Amino acid sequence: MLLKVKDVENIMEEYAPSILKESYDNVGLMVGDSEGLVTKILIALDCTMDVIAEAKNKGCNFILTHHPLLFVKPKTITTGTILGKKVIELIKNDINIYSSHTNLDSVKGGLNDIVTEILGFSKYKIIDTSDTKDAGIGRLVILDKPMRFAALCENVKSTLKAEFIRVVGNDDALVNTIAIINGSGEDFFSRSVKLGADCIITGDTKYHGACDLLEQNIALIDAGHFETEWIPFKVFVKKFKKRLIEDGYDNEVILSKCTSDPYKFK
């Protein structure tokens, strides 16, 4: 059965409805033709020039990303900007791109749930509930038995395959309640603390936010934006591939070899 762009749109909208996105976000088909036929699908965290080249080389005319290509409305689309170069390159090569971001984070069974579960926690509740009540940003885990902060750090580092993690807290301190927000979760620090979190796991934290947590005796594990999203996104992709097969489509779904953390550590 032939797969159209709109079929992928429908599947993704069913899995992670766009209504669940945060107000500042932009999700859905970024560039493309809903009536166009899909050849192969390339999966990436971000749409970079390298990812676009990879799509061309591998015969993929559809890119599915987590981070939106068009996050802020551009004033112009020209080769004078990196965004303009990407959009023009996609159009010239008839490559469609679809992004599912904060809606995929917050939905039941989405990235927030996935990262929480792969870290070994099966019981949790939503930190910032949306209007649907069963979706929202962040997950709160209340442990049945307290664990040493050092042990939690090692679990996060190994599970998310992080080259290194940044932490705030005493290795011997006991953790009882954990807030987990994949990607950049600093906006949810206050809410997490109010809910009783004595440890927060996220990425992209800033100096002053870390200082505030330290003064409140709240532990922090910053495992990186990339690390807290790429592994759970790949888990989601397995569900996506299964759905395509169940719907009768045999299009190849390829994980990008060019998706990587932009930071290098020395």
Q: Tell me: the pLDDT tens digits for 109-156? A: 999 999 999 999 999 999 988 777 789 999 999 999 999 999 999 999
Looking at residue 1, what is its pLDDT?
A: 84
* 219 in the same domain as 112: yes
CA proximity to 260, closest of 238, 217, 231, 239: 231
Round to whole Å and give the CA distance between 237 and 266: 31
Looking at residue 266, what is its pLDDT?
A: 82
Domain span at residue 74 reads 5-104+229-255
CA atoms 194, 226, 121, 22: torsion sign: positive
Is residue 83, in this structure, part of any structural domain at all?
yes
* 205 in the same domain as 127: yes
* 120 in the same domain as 81: no
CA proximity to 201, closest of 212, 211, 213, 91: 213
Looking at residue 173, what is its pLDDT?
A: 97
What 3 state SS string does 146-201 have?
EEEHHHHHHHHHHHCCCCCCEEECCCCCEEEEEEEEEEECHHHHHHHHHCCCCEEE
Looking at residue 25, what is its pLDDT?
A: 95
Is residue 261, in this structure, part of any structural domain at all?
no
* 69 in the same domain as 10: yes
Q: What are the CA-CA distances from residue 8 to residues 5, 90, 231, 232, 253 (Å)? A: 5, 18, 21, 20, 12
Looking at residue 73, what is its pLDDT?
A: 82
- When divided into structural domains, the chain yields a total of 2
CA proximity to 64, closest of 263, 259, 262: 259
Dig out the tokens for 201 from the structure: 């796991």
H or E element, residue 60: strand 60-65
Is residue 262, in this structure, part of any structural domain at all?
no
Report mean pLDDT in 10-residue bins for the chain, 266 residues: 96 96 95 97 98 98 97 90 97 98 97 98 91 89 97 97 95 98 96 97 96 97 97 97 96 96 88
Dig out the tokens for 126 from the structure: 């939503």
Looking at residue 39, what is its pLDDT?
A: 97
* 237 in the same domain as 211: no
CATH code of 76's domain? 3.40.1390.30
* 186 in the same domain as 149: yes
* 171 in the same domain as 131: yes
Instruction: Please give the model's pTM, rounded to 2 decimal places.
Output: 0.94
Length of the chain: 266
Looking at residue 74, what is its pLDDT?
A: 87
